[in-house]
Amino acid sequence: MNLRIVFAPALFVAIASFGGCQNACQELCVELLDYAADCGYEVTAQDLTNCKNEQRNVSEVDLQICIDGLEKVEQPATGEEVARVRITWTCEDIQTNVLSGGGDDSAAQ
């Protein structure tokens, strides 16, 4: 039996905080999947686990890309401070690059 659990964005933050030490790319996993949930996509705990596992050992270059994606910037429409990736990526980018396993994180720059 295959059960898919849909998480609210706040629950992702709570789950991610139990993960111990994380690098910036693993933190970006949390941000991206939270964003995916905000976009209305179904996201599972397994999606988070898979992303974090894939980002466990990243190069210094990739790590800097992730740090840049997490940088807080002002969202033009609302003035709210959000992670840069929420400004540079659309919901469609999230679906293509994160949920479809595309993994192209160059848009986070």
The pLDDT tens digits of the residues spanning 36-78 come to: 999 999 999 999 999 999 999 999 999 999 999 999 999 998 9
If one compares 8 and 68, the residue with the highest pLDDT of the two is: 68
The fraction of the chain above a pLDDT of 90, given in percent, is 67
Q: Tokens 């030490």 identify what position?
A: 21
Q: Confidence class of residue 102 from pLDDT cuts 50, 70 and 90?
A: low
Give Cα separations from 25 to 78, 102, 103 (angstroms): 26, 15, 11
Q: Which residues contact 9 (CB under 8 A, 6 or more apart)?
A: 34, 37, 38
Query: How much is the pTM?
Result: 0.72
User: What are the backbone dihedrals phi and psi of residue 41, each rounded to the nearest 5 degrees, phi first?
Assistant: -85, 150
Structure token pair of residue 102: 């595309």
The fraction of the chain above a pLDDT of 70, given in percent, is 73
